[in-house]
Structure 1
Amino acid sequence: MRKISLLAFCALTACAAPQAQVSKSYSEDSTSGIAFAAMQDFGAAPRAFQSRPNAELARDFLDLEFRMESGRANPNFSRFEGPISIKLQGAVPATAAAEMAKVIGRLRNEAGLDVNFAKPGAAGSVTIEFLPRAEMRRVVPLAACFTVPRVQSWAEYKAERSGPKADWTTVTQRDHVAIFIPSDAAPQEVRDCLNEETAQAMGPLNDLYRLTDSVFNDDNFNAVLTSFDMLMLKLHYAPEMRSGMNEAEAAKHVPGMLARLNPAGNYAGGQFKEISPRVWIAEVERAFGPRGGAGARMAAAERMLGIAKAQGWRDGRLAFSYFAVGRSLATSQPAAAVSALTAAQRIYRSLPNAQVHVAHVDMQLSAIALAAGQNGQAIAFADRAIPVVKQAQNASLLATLMLIKAEALENSGHAGEAQALRLDSQAWARYGFGSDSQMRARMAEIASIGARGARG
C-alpha cells in the first residue's frame, strides 16, 4: 500500500492521503479526454539492483509476507498455485493494456512467473477493473488503486468489503484477486498502480518504510518494480514455499532460497531493522496528508524526525524524516530547509539503490535555489537529477525538473533555451500529470517560484 503521492504529483507542496488496506495514494483530480499524440513514455528497462547481504534480505522477505501495513500480523503465506491470468475490465484507459503488457513481460522474464493476459471471455486470476475516481471515492474516500482478495468485480467488493471474505489475513491460498484503479487517472498513475498492485496481488502484501530499493514502500520514491521486488516475487513462488505456511515454517527455507536465487548476496553482514512503529507512521501521514495546514504538517515532520532520532535509525527512515522537515520549511525557512535536505541527501547517498531518493532531494534544492535567484545552482541540481529520474521512469518529476531548469535559464537570459526546454517537458508532463489543468498548475507554480527569484 502506498500512502503518499507527494513524489508523483505533489513534489513542491504537501498533498496526499492515507487509504485502504493494500492500495496506492492518488493525485488530485485529473481529467480524461486530453490529446496524447505528443505524450512521451518509457520503455520497460528496470533500475539496476545492488544486492544487500542475504541475511538482511531474509528479514525483509519475512516482514513483507507476514505483516500487514495496519500493524496486524498476517498468519498465513498465500500465493496462486498454477498459471496466473490477468483480465482488464471496465473503462480501461487507452494506455493501460500496453502498460500491463510491459509489467507482464517483466514478471515473466525477471521473476520467472507463469503469468499472461486471460483469454477473451475468460475470468482472470487477477481482475483489474477501472472505474471513475468519483465512484471509488464514494465507497473508499481516501483510496486510489487497491487490491482485494476473493472478489472479481467492483460490485462484489462493495457487497463483501465489511466481511471476512475481503480480509487478507484469512487467505491461505489465492484463487481470485481484484485490483481497482481510477479510469480517469494520469497515465503515469495508471502505470504505477499496475506495477505495485499487480505485484501485491501476486506476492507480498506489506510495505516497509525502511526499503530504499522497492515499490513496497509508502514513500513512493520508486515508481516501477525494481530488481529487489522481482527477487521477492521469485522467493514467493519458489518451490520450497507453499500456501498456508506460517512464518516459522517459511523462515526455515528462506536462507537456502536466497543462497540459490541471489548468490551475489552470499556474504556476511546485514543489519537487523525493525518494523517502523505506528506512532512514526502516523506522523508521516500527517506530514504529507491533505488535512491541516502548513503549520500542522511542519509540526508532524518535526515529530517524525524526533521519533527517528529516538529510535536510533541511520537508514532511509531518518533520511525521509529530514526530507519531510526540509520540504515543510522550503517556503518559510529556506536556509533551514536546505540544512535538513542536505542531511537527508547525505544519508541517502550512503545507502544502496537510493539514487532516485537523492534526485528527489535535488529537485527540492533546485526549487529553493530558483526562488533565491541562484539560477546556476538551480540548473546544476536539475542537471544532476534529470538522468537519474529518466532511469527511474518518473515523468512527472522529470517534467518538474525540466520546468525548474527552464525558469532558471529564462532568469539567466537564455530565453530561447528556456522555451525549447518547456516544450520538451510537455511530452513528459502529459504522461506524468495527464490533464491539461494539472500541467498548467505545475507550470504556473514553478513560474511563480522563478518570478520570486527574478525579483531577487
Structure 2
Amino acid sequence: MSLTLSLPRPAPSRSRHPRRIALGLGLLALVACGAPEMRAPREDSTPELLTVSAQRIELPPMKRFTTAPKTTPRRSNVQMAQDFMDLSFRLETGATLPVFSRFEGPISVRVVGAQVPTTLNADLGDLLDRLKREAGLDIALVPRTSPAAITIELVPAAAFRKRAPNTACIAAADVSSWAEFRAARAASWTTVRTRTRAAIFIPTGGTPQDVRDCLHEELAQALGPLNDLFRLPDSVFNDDNIHSVLTGFDMLMLRATYAPELRSGLTREQVAALIVPLLDRLNPAGRGGGLARVDTTPHDWIANVTRAMDGGALSARRAAATRAVAIAQNRGWSDNRAGLSYFLLGRLQQGQNTEAARANLEQARRLFTGSSLTEIAAAHATLHLAAIDLVRGDYPSALADLDPAIATATRAQNAALLSSLMLTKAEALLRIGRAGEAQAVRLDSLGWARYGFGSDRDVYAHIADIQALAR
C-alpha cells in the first residue's frame, strides 16, 4: 500500500511495504499479497542459505509488458457512483473533504532525482498513454528542468525510510520537491479546492515492478481519488494490494473526475446529483443496475487485516487474521473481503499448520473464484496451494490449476506473480519427469522474474526457494 500524505498531520501508513505485492517462496511456504517479507513466515530470524543449481542459470534479458491490460468495469453505474463519492470525499484517516478537487487544464508531469531506473521512463510513458486514451486526460511528460503540475522524484532510500518507514511511496499535496515536502507545515489535501501541484516520492532501489506499481497508484491518487476502500474488488484504490496496475474501473473513476460536468469546488451534494447521469454517459453498459447492498467495512476488521499484513511476530499476525475471519463470518460476507480474510490466515499458517493453511486457502480461492472481478486474487491463492502441493510431493495437484492462474497473472501484468507461478509449474513438471517442458517454462519465466524481483541475486534466491519446496 502507498501513502497519500496531508501535512502537517500525515495519514498513517497503509501498511504498504517496499514490495507492493511481496511475492516470494520460502522453505515451507509462499508469500504473496500484503506481506512485507520476501521469504516465508518463519519463527526464527536467520533464514537458511541455499546453494543450488539455480545459481548457475544464465538469466535472459528482462521482460516488460508493452500492451495495455484489457479490463472493463462490470458493476452498475449506481454502485460505482457510490464508490466514486466515497473515494473522492474522504481520506483514509477518516477526514472528510469539504469540496471536490482536481487539476484544471492541461497536466504536466516531470521526473527528477537520482538513480532513475531505466524502466521508469518506459513504464511512465505507457501509463500516460493509457491515461490519455482510457481516461481522456490532457496529460504530458515535460523535461525535468521545467515546472510541472506533478513532480515524480526518486529519493535516496535511506532518507525516504527515515521519513516514511514501512511505506513504498508517497503522494503529497501542494509541494514539488522532497526538500519542500520535508519542510512543509501547512499543506493538506483537506484544504485543497483546486489542485495546482502535487508530488510523488519513490525510494531508490526498488524493483522495476515496485516502481511501476507506485507510478500507477500514486499518479492516479494525485490526479483523482484520495481514498482506498477494501470493498472494491477491481481497483488499485484498495489496501489489499491485489491489483498492480490501473484497472478499467480506475480509469472510469478518473474519466469521471475530469468530465466537463464536474469542476473543482463542487460540494458533495452537488457532485452526488451529477455523478449517476455522468457515469451513464461514460459507461452505457452500466445503466439500469441498482445499488447492491454492501455491508460497511467495520474498523475492527480493517485493524485486524492491517495487523495481519504488517510486520511483527507471526503469532500476533495469525491471531489478527483469525479475528478478521471471525468478523467476516459473523457479518455473513462472501465477497473479496471474506476471501482476503481467509487468504491471510491461510498464508500465515503455512509452515505452522499445513492442513489448516490448505483449508483456509481453498476457502479463499472458492470465494475469489466466484467473480471475474477477483480472478487475480484467486491466482494468488492458487500459488500458495501449489506450494503446499510441492512440499507434499503431490505434483499433479500442484499443476492442476497453474495454467489458468498464469493466464490471469499475464492479463493483470503482475510479473512477480507470473514468474512465481511459472517457476512452480517448472518444478512440478521436472518432478514428474517432463524435464524438457520444465526447462522451457523456467526459461520463459526468468525474464519476468527479473522485472518482478529486480536483482540477479533475488531472482536466484527465488528459484532456489521454489526448488527447496519440492525436496
TM-score, normalising length: structure 1: 0.90
Q: Does 1:101 align with 2:101?
A: no
Match in the other structure for 1:365 = 385
Partner of residue 31, structure 1: none
Please give the root-mean-square deviation of Cα atoms over the aligned residues, in Å.
2.1
Equivalences for residues 246-395 of structure 1 within 5 A = 246-292=267-313, 294-395=314-415
Instruction: Check the 8 A contact 1:44/1:106 in 2, yes or no.
Output: no
Matched, 1:117 2:135: no
2:173–2:199 contact (8 Å) kept in structure 1: yes
- Specify the code of the residue in structure 1 equivalent to 2:435: A
In the alignment, the residues of structure 1 paired with residue 338 and residue 33 of structure 2 have an alpha-carbon distance, to the nearest angstrom, of 21
Name whichever of 308-317 and 214-223 sits farther off. Answer: 308-317
What is the DSSP-based 3-state SS (H/G/I as helix, E as strand, rest coil) of the residue aligned with 2:110?
A: strand
% identity of equivalent residues: 46
* Alpha carbons 1:206, 1:216 under 8 Å: kept: yes
Tell me the TM-score normalized by structure 2. 0.87
- Going from structure 1 to structure 2, the CA distance change for 1:356 and 1:106 (only over 3 Å counts) comes to same
Contact 1:14 1:290 in 2 (8 A): no
Q: Runs of 5+ in structure 1 lacking a partner?
A: 18-24, 29-34, 452-456
What are the residue-to-residue correspondences of 1:7-18 with 2, within 5 Å? Answer: 8-11=21-24, 12-13=30-31
Residue 85, structure 1, aligned to residue 84, structure 2: no
Aligned match of 1:447 = 467
Query: In the alignment, residue 98 of structure 2 is paired with which amino acid?
Result: P
Separation in 1, partners of 2:321, 2:32: 11
Aligned partner of 1:208 among 225, 229, 237: 229
2:199 to 178, 186, 201: 178
Alpha-carbon separation, structure 2, partners of 1:445 and 1:196? 30
Contact 1:7 1:397 in 2 (8 A): no
Q: How many residue pairs end up in the alignment?
A: 434
2:186 is matched by which residue type in structure 1? P
Aligned partner (choices 40, 44, 52) of residue 75 of structure 2: 52
Distance 1:274 1:82 in 2: 38
Structure 1 pair 8–16 and aligned structure 2 pair: CA distance change class (3 A): closer
Say if 1:314 and 1:246 are closer, same or farther in 2 by CA, change over 3 A. Answer: farther
Inter-partner Cα distance in structure 2 for 1:380 and 1:428? 22
Partner of 1:22: none
Question: Structure 1 residue runs of 4+, over 4 Å off?
Answer: 4-7, 14-17, 25-28
- Report Cα offsets for 1:220-261 as digits up to 9, x if no partner: 111111110010001111112121222122101111101111
What is the distance in 2 between the residues matched to 1:328 and 1:155? Answer: 39
Does structure 2 conserve the Cα–Cα contact (< 8 Å) formed by 1:49 and 1:353? Answer: no
1:43 corresponds to which of 37, 45, 66: 66
Shift of 1:337: 1.9
How big is the shift at 1:441?
2.4
Q: Which of the numbers 163, 186, 207 marks the counterpart of 1:164?
A: 186
Which stretch shows the higher mean deviation, 111-120 or 54-63? 111-120
User: Would the alpha carbon gap of residues 413 and 355 (structure 1) be closer, same or farther in structure 2, given more than 3 Å must change?
Assistant: same
Single out whichever of 377-386 and 413-422 deviates more from structure 2: 413-422
Q: Unaligned stretches of 5+ in structure 2?
A: 3-14, 25-29, 40-57
- Name the CA shift for 1:27/1:334 in 2 (closer, same or farther; >3 Å): closer
> Are the counterparts in 2 of residues 50 and 352 from structure 1 also a CA contact under 8 Å?
no
Q: Determine which of 192, 217, 228 is the counterpart of 2:249.
A: 228
Q: Indicate how the Cα distance of structure 1 residues 312 and 244 shifts in structure 2: closer, same or farther if over 3 A, else same.
A: farther
Q: Contact conserved, 2:16 with 2:166, CA < 8 A, in 1?
A: no
Q: In structure 2, which of residues 208, 218, 230 is the aligned counterpart of residue 187 of structure 1?
A: 208
Determine if contact 1:386/1:401 at 8 Å carries over to the other structure. yes
1:192 to 1:152, Cα distance in 2 relative to 1, 3 A: same
Equivalent AA in structure 2 for residue 102 of structure 1: D
